[in-house]
Structure 1
Amino acid sequence: MLSADKMSELQYAFKLNHTYYFDDFNDDDEFLNATQKLIEDKCFIIVFGTTNDADELYDKLLFFNQYYFPVSEIKGYLKKGAYFAFRSDLFKGYSLRNRLKDLGFLEYSMQESLVLKDNHQRLIAKLFNLLVEETKMPQSEIHSTIIASYLNLLLYHMQRFYQRFMEDKSDEINALQCQFLKELYTFFDQERRCMLAPPTATLLSKKLNCTARFLNDISLKVSGKTAQYHIENFIVTAAKQLLAETDLSVAEIAERMKFEHPQSLTRLFKRKTQITPLDFRISII
């Protein structure tokens, strides 16, 4: 294990001269000590290692960044492995830099990560080793291009693995989508005719014990629509009910729907229905 001074020296060199850094670790404390500063420096970290999940050891590929680095969950979970840290400017001039934003699994929690078995494990191990070996090569004009290519290939394979996972677990995924839509209705109190809280993908994902990005990807897979699309439809449906069954003004309805400004409800309503709330009320008289 590197000493604290040596680690600090390496991280300083990394920050000044490099857009990537690689190391291995033998326990979770070693990993956390080595990566906390990298996370603070807004690095993205890919971990290929052995985890302790439900008292069994598994091989997984995990993804961490400045927005998701759950120290308390990592402790006792990671056993050993290796990690590759990089900043987004590694991909300056590459389409991969933009692709990172579109890969939903990069924002999944550790609990939502895939267990890598047999051929999948061997394939990812080979790709990760190629990536690691390239980090040891002398700096050259093509060096960053090769690293970006290996990383791109690694992410493509993970994307394919998750697509297969979605297909193989269709029953569970459909059930989660049904539960998501069911939970939406708990936000509106029919008796009091008001929204109990603004429904958001973050709140709903917490109720369903998953991440907002996982919920969104499930929704896209099952319905072809984002989670936000269903949330907005639910809000507009509730607003239509109040417009049709009460004499409340649009401003009063917006307040009951937990909008800060009536204009926000009007804009959403018109975007989803092509007419304003008032026009809708007139149309049903």
Structure 2
Amino acid sequence: MEREFNFQTVSEYNDFNNHETGHPLVSVIDFSQAAKRTGSKMHFELYCIFLKDVKCGDLKYGRQHYDYQEGTLVFISPGQVVDVENKVDEYQPMGHGLVFHPDLLLGTSLGKSISDYNFFSYYTNEALHLSAKERKLVLDLFAKLHSELHQTIDKHSKKVIASGIELLLSYCERFYDRQFITRDTVNKGMLEKFEGLLNGYFNSEKPYTIGLPSVAYCADELHLSANYFGDLIKKETGKSAQEFIQAKIIEVAKNKIFDSSKTVNEIAYDLGFKYPQHFIRLFKKRVGSTPAEYRTLN
């Protein structure tokens, strides 16, 4: 029977990887010190940043799969579950990681901004692939945190550690921006798929059965996490995914308004609006006139 682990504290994860606990809320892990193990399902109540250096099977993260490559950063937030499928019989974990408990962030500037780092809720196949230079920088930041954790804890420790983690996350934001750019061809293909998805949606019965298309629905249909999808669309178009969907709604609505056999209310229901006044409000906000006024003017 497959083993399952539930890591609620840093010390539990340290024990699992043969590490001493120097600080109860944060640890830098050298996975080469861990014993050999087989794949297993792991539940985390911690923030984790893993730099994996060895193939250990196909990682299942939600419904998505990801085959680890050297120099890849994976981010995990509290409450997430990581599983390994197509497991090798036994492997020696390698690489490094940073784990920290949410309580470490209380009263720090990072505690206020941690939710802004969307990549903690990306799917694993949306992981961050590092260049050799970027990998070295990440390892240097891990080393600085490791050094601080071996200092005597004083009133400055929490602020210094949280600032070090915040610096690491800021670099990761920069690296992700670079990754969005270097994958420009792939991203443009995804934008075309998004456009096609919306066209197909409004040419189907889905507005009647589902209602208006949500960002989460579109991301799921395109096999992306909602946050990664939103960040990708924002980088490519300068608009949020929600704004992109609303622009498509208005485009479709304008064409429908020229069919004078339908009332504004009927058009609203055709588009998936539950209440026609919501459609009228959105249309006026985006176009500058109500649907009825637009029909008259045109």
TM-score range with shorter-chain normalisation?
0.7 to 0.9
Bigger mean CA deviation after superposition, 192-201 or 122-131 = 192-201
What are the superposed Cα offsets for residues 86-129 of structure 1, whole Å, 9 maximum, x if unpaired? 34453344433343333333332211112334222222112112
The letter for the 1-side match of 2:172 is M
Q: Distance in 2 between matches of 1:193 and 1:140?
A: 59
Alignment counterpart, residue 120 of structure 2, candidates 106, 114, 127: 106
Match of 1:275 in 2: 289
* Displacement of 1:68: 4.3
Could you tell me how far apart the structure 1 residues matched to 2:10 and 2:117 are? 33
Q: Which residue of 2 aligns with 1:50?
A: 53
Query: Which amino acid in the other structure matches residue 259 of structure 1?
Result: F
**Alignment pair present for 1:225 and 2:239:** yes
TM-score by length of 1: 0.77
Match of 2:104 among 82, 90, 97: 90
**Given the two structures, how large is their TM-score scaled by the length of structure 2?**
0.74
> What secondary structure is seen at the aligned counterpart in 2 of 1:210?
coil
After superposition, residues 12-27 of structure 1 pair within 5 angstroms as: 19-21=25-27, 23=29, 25=31, 26=34
Residue of structure 1 in register with 2:19 after alignment = none
What is the aligned length? Answer: 269
Equivalents in 1 of 2:133, 2:159: separation in Å? 27
Query: In the alignment, which residue of structure 2 is the partner of 1:14?
Result: none
Alignment RMSD:
3.6
Give the CA deviation at 1:195: 5.8
Q: State, as a whole percentage, how many aligned pairs show the same letter.
A: 25
Offset from partner CA, 1:136-159 (integer Å, 9 cap, x none): 433311101111121112112212
Letter in 2 for 1:50: D
Q: 2 CA distance for matches of 1:113 and 1:227?
A: 20
Residue of structure 1 equivalent to 2:62: none
Query: In structure 1, the residue corresponding to 2:273 is in which secondary structure?
Result: coil
1:71 maps onto 2:83 in alignment: yes
Letter paired with 1:187: Y
Instruction: From the two aligned structures, give the one with the greater helix fraction.
Output: 1
Alignment of 1:181 with 2:164, yes or no, is: no
User: Structure 2, unaligned stretches of length 5 or more?
Assistant: 13-22, 59-65
